[in-house]
């Protein structure tokens, strides 16, 4: 546990993924207790994992905030709520997406159908469906969270909705400090992908969120991964430029013969990717192709459940 500033502590847990860690944050509440922001992945034996953290605090955890529904952020929420007795707060949009992704039994097959429609070969689509089933075992969503609304004040922190990385992603801002979740990272670009049962233009959402970050006046952002972002506005502008360049690259890969999102992803990210990385590559490619279509730079063709793109 690392003290980052007065009343702000960071907890880092390892992850069994390519991105090998996740940060959770403890914020000192006005009454002296602690608010926990995000909970890590729902791996076995949460009591052993959390006992050193909770035992090292001078006051109890009185509330738990979930920034977004991704497994490494919401996965341990139910277990930590049980260990602390603290209520969980989650946005309404995020809660609905969390249930669709991790609780609805049709979720993995729905994701397989989405991937297949966008050109993923059947064997790879089967692998991604099976991986989705496995990931679900690492998500223990809270049973009945309290709603957290954009615009409200949560113990002095302003709640802001910044969609893109996740439809319902929420962040907290106070005194120039941004508890950013995965909206902005110091070294890599947060994944921005198109998934089934989600908002239709995630990249458009994300670009707008980056513009908001650039205007917030935050002097530091504590993110879900990597080191703190010491110039949030500057980093937001860098990420806008990065995605504009990727839009140009995706457009350049389109040809007169319509191409699937999977085919375009091979050009953008290369063919030699492990299945989890292919999942992100396809989703991110689709987000860029949909933005190109909305900007009038590409045409989307949906023929018999098979989706293709070509230049406008």
pLDDT per position as a tens digit, 116-128? 999 999 999 999 9
**pLDDT of 304:** 87
pLDDT over 90 percentage in the chain: 93
**pLDDT of 121:** 94
Q: Does 31 have pLDDT greater than 90? A: yes
Q: Count other C-beta atoms under 10 Å from residue 145's C-beta.
A: 23
For the chain, list the domains and their CATH numbers: 2-254 (3.60.15.10)
- The structure tokens 């990249």 sit at 203
Which whole-number Å values give the CA distances from 63 to 13, 27, 35, 83, 85, in the listed order? 20, 10, 5, 12, 9
Q: Does 140 have pLDDT greater than 90? A: yes
Residue 6 and residue 194: Cα distance in Å, rounded?
A: 38
Residue 168 and residue 94: Cα distance in Å, rounded?
A: 4
Q: Does 197 have pLDDT greater than 90? A: no
- Average pLDDT across the chain, whole number: 96
Q: Does 193 have pLDDT greater than 90? A: yes
**pLDDT of 17:** 85
Q: Does 166 have pLDDT greater than 90? A: yes
**pLDDT of 276:** 83
pLDDT per position as a tens digit, 287-307? 999 999 999 999 999 988 899
pLDDT per position as a tens digit, 72-123? 999 999 999 999 999 999 999 999 999 999 999 999 999 999 999 999 999 9
**pLDDT of 175:** 95
């Amino acid at each position: 546990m690392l003290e980052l500033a007065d009343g702000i502590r960071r907890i880092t847990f390892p992850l069994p993924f390519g991105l090998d860690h996740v940060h959770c944050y403890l914020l000192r509440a006005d009454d002296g207790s602690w608010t926990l922001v995000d909970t890590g992945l729902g791996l076995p034996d949460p009591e052993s994992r959390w006992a050193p953290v909770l035992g090292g605090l001078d006051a109890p955890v009185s509330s738990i905030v979930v920034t977004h529904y991704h497994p490494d952020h919401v996965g341990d929420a139910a277990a930590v709520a049980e260990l602390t007795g603290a209520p969980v707060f989650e946005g309404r949009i995020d809660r609905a997406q969390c249930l669709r992704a991790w609780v609805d039994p049709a979720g993995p097959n729905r994701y397989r159908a989405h991937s297949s429609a966008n050109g993923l070969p059947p064997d790879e689509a089967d692998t991604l469906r099976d991986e989705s089933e496995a990931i679900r075992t690492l998500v223990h969503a809270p049973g009945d969270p309290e709603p957290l609304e954009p615009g409200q004040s949560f113990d002095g922190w302003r709640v802001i909705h910044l969609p893109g990385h996740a439809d319902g992603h929420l962040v907290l801002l106070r005194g120039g400090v941004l508890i950013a979740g995965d909206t902005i990272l110091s070294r890599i670009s947060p994944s921005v992908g198109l998934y089934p049962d989600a908002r239709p233009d995630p990249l458009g959402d994300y670009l707008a969120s980056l513009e908001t970050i650039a205007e917030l006046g935050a002097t530091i952002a504590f993110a879900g991964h990597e080191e703190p972002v010491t110039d949030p506005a500057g980093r937001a502008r860098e990420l806008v430029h990065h995605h504009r360049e990727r839009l140009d690259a995706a457009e350049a890969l389109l040809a007169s013969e319509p191409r699937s999102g999977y085919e375009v992803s091979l050009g953008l990210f290369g063919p030699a990717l492990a299945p989890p990385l292919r999942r992100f590559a396809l989703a991110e490619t689709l987000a860029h192709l949909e933005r190109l279509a909305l900007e009038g730079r590409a045409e989307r063709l949906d023929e018999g459940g098979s989706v293709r793109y070509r230049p406008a």
